[in-house]
Amino acid sequence: MGLTLSAPVIYLSLLIIAVCGIIYELIIGAVSSYLWGDSVYYFSITVGLYMSAMGLGAFCSKFFQKALFDWFVLSEILIGILGGTSALLLFGVYASFEGSYEYAMVTVTLLIGGLVGLEIPLLIRLLEEAQEGLRNNVAHVLTYDYIGGLIGALLFPMLLLPYLGIHRSALVLGMANLLVAGFNFVRHRHLLVWFRPLLLLTTVALGALTWLLWTSEDLNRVLEQRLYRDQVIFTAQTPYQHLTLTQWHNDIRLFINGGLQFSSIDEHRYHESLIHVPMAVVPAASEVLVLGGGDGLAIRELLKYPALKRVTLVDIDPEMIRLAQEQPVLARLNQNSLKDPRVVIKTVDAFKFVEEAAEVYDVIIVDLPDPNATGLAKLYSREFYHMLARRLSPRGALVTQSTSPFFAREAYWCIHKTLQATGLHVYPYQAEIPSFGNWGFQLATPQVLRTSDLKLGLPPEQLRFLTADLVTGLFALPQDIAVNLADISENSIIQPVLLRYYQKGWNGVR
């Protein structure tokens, strides 16, 4: 075997295997985060399961005594099949058997990890006689494995996910695994004992993945549609999130990573409560900062104020901005607000923008998604709120949406207490929004307010939900959402307790 085994071919195969293996991990973690939320939790579980399975696969390799090259090729074929279809399989299980998703995720992760773990010891044993001995072989194999891991970790977020999406990325990688098997067929045919059955399996699998890739757009639409009640009219995977727009008659709904952001039937209740309450504090505001809100609906409400000179919109995702500007139903809903000359759009991370900002704003609107992941929880942190407080004018007002005080009570009051830590005076309020239920907000100001004295800065005929009497009524909170603030911790970047509070509240609703 030492004279016939090509070490360069094996090392190249190992590099590709490592690239594919790490990306399969990332794909499974990304699918789980998209469908269930909490990216840190699911990525941690995926990595832990994958590494453990690799160890189990390596342990099992010692029981393989004969036809080692055949077993290596067979494992590569199985990885190609399972990894290539992993995203489609997991989406399909979630759409058809939601309660079984986590079992499917664990099974797929363990199988892929076990097969990858099986391959590395087999390769070391195959190379042992062909090269300079065990020491050099282990060093070379691990070097290519680690280099491949780095390449895969960079390829997925920078190239594959934004340009191919999750499903097609998995299929392309599966085909890469099968091509590795095919290349080894050509180069090492004489070493294979089970040549014909392995060649047939590779050919059939490659043909199946090619067909799935060819029809992936239709398959994506079918699977996406099964996740939503209404007709999907737009879907896109961006480097930051998955955007989905649905329509049923006059009801337009936007989902980000599967979570509902608004329904056109009642979004006016949310956006009027978010915008016109702080604007009642500063009706003559000329400089306003909006963090999030890339759909343009909050901007639509702000542009009703004639004193407004400039509103700076900060949203990390350029695709969200493009969708709000160019998708006809959404542009009609936001009344083309993002094309108004008073709107300055910054497609950067909100934390980074606030950290580097020098401007002072009369009103700051925090219209970000719920803190259901660590990356979002930091935008509800003590550190972030301190930076916002420094950007607020002495007689200004800041507001943040604060999830549901009924379903996630502790999370709601955690945001309240964290915002209080800045030294601002914080006034909690709520509104009833049929699509979401009871929803909460926090109004914060440098000066003490009498909320009972707040007056709308616009005539009521320009609004659909708020009235002069209702503005003050929003601050009257019922007893069943109250907590003892002494039992609630502040949220910080180092200790993101808000994430635990949020999950505790909403997991009880599922």
Find the helix or strand (DSSP H, E) in which 223 lies. helix 216-227
Domain co-membership, 288 together with 256: no
Q: Are residues 461 and 417 in contact, defined by beta-carbon separation less than 8 angstroms?
A: no
Both tokens of residue 403? Answer: 């999830």
**pLDDT per position as a tens digit, 398-413:** 999 999 999 999 999 9
- How far apart CA 120 and CA 140 sit, in angstroms, is 11
pLDDT of 1 reads 44
Q: Tell how far CA 438 is from the center of its chain.
A: 25
Name the pLDDT band for 134 (thresholds 50, 70, 90).
low
Q: What are the residue numbers of the active site?
A: 367
Domain co-membership, 201 together with 256: no
Is position 249 within any domain?
yes
pLDDT at 129 over 70: no
Q: Tell which residue, 270, 289, 498, has the closest CA to residue 376.
A: 498
Is position 470 within any domain?
yes
pLDDT at 449 over 90: yes
Both tokens of residue 37? Answer: 């939320």
Is position 137 within any domain?
yes
Is position 2 within any domain?
no
What DSSP string runs through 111-154?
HHHHHHHHHHHHHHHHHHTTSS-HHHHHHHHHHHHHHHHHHHHH
- How far apart CA 157 and CA 23 sit, in angstroms, is 10
pLDDT of 326 reads 95
Q: How many CA atoms lie within 13 A of 313 on its CB side?
A: 26
71 or 336, greater pLDDT: 336
Domain co-membership, 257 together with 205: no
State the average pLDDT over residues 218-239. Answer: 80
CATH of the domain at 401: 3.40.50.150
Percent of the chain with pLDDT over 70: 96
Domain that holds residue 407: 265-507
Domain co-membership, 165 together with 41: yes
Name the pLDDT band for 13 (thresholds 50, 70, 90).
confident
What DSSP string runs through 71-100?
HHHHHHHHHHHHHHTHHHHHHHHHHH-GGG
Domain co-membership, 303 together with 452: yes
Domain co-membership, 16 together with 134: yes
β-bridge partners, 432: 438
Count of the separate structural domains present in the chain: 3
pLDDT at 510 over 60: no
- How far apart CA 360 and CA 312 sit, in angstroms, is 11
Q: Tell which residue, 28, 47, 50, 169, has the closest CA to residue 101.
A: 28
Both tokens of residue 194? Answer: 């089970």
Is position 1 within any domain?
no
Is position 246 within any domain?
yes
Both tokens of residue 492? Answer: 């910080």
Q: Are residues 441 and 276 in contact, defined by beta-carbon separation less than 8 angstroms?
A: no
pLDDT of 348 reads 95
Domain co-membership, 110 together with 253: no
Domain co-membership, 294 together with 352: yes
Q: Are residues 95 and 224 in contact, defined by beta-carbon separation less than 8 angstroms?
A: no
Q: 3-state SS of 370-425?
A: CCCCHHHHHHHCHHHHHHHHHCEEEEEEEEEECCCCCCCHHHHHHHHHHHHCCCCE
Q: Tell which residue, 113, 148, 114, has the closest CA to residue 29.
A: 113
pTM score, whole prediction = 0.79
Q: Tell how far CA 320 is from the center of its chain.
A: 14
Q: Tell which residue, 97, 112, 12, has the closest CA to residue 56.
A: 112
**pLDDT per position as a tens digit, 297-330:** 999 999 999 999 999 999 999 999 999 999 999 9
What is Dmax (Cα atoms) for the chain? 90
**pLDDT per position as a tens digit, 173-224:** 999 999 988 887 777 777 778 888 888 898 999 999 999 999 887 877 777 7
Q: Tell which residue, 361, 356, 254, 242, has the closest CA to residue 297.
A: 254
pLDDT of 99 reads 75
Domain co-membership, 75 together with 155: yes
pLDDT of 195 reads 81
Is position 199 within any domain?
yes
User: Tokens 């505001």 identify what position?
Assistant: 285
Is position 351 within any domain?
yes
pLDDT of 508 reads 63
Domain co-membership, 137 together with 209: yes
- Mean pLDDT, the chain, as a whole number? 89
Three-state DSSP class for residue 251: strand
Domain co-membership, 20 together with 163: yes
**pLDDT per position as a tens digit, 28-79:** 988 887 776 666 777 888 889 999 999 999 999 888 888 888 888 899 899 9
pLDDT at 418 over 90: yes
**pLDDT per position as a tens digit, 422-444:** 999 999 999 999 998 899 999 99
CATH of the domain at 166: 1.20.1250
- How far apart CA 480 and CA 405 sit, in angstroms, is 9
Q: Are residues 127 and 137 in contact, defined by beta-carbon separation less than 8 angstroms?
A: yes
Domain co-membership, 253 together with 208: no
Three-state DSSP class for residue 232: strand
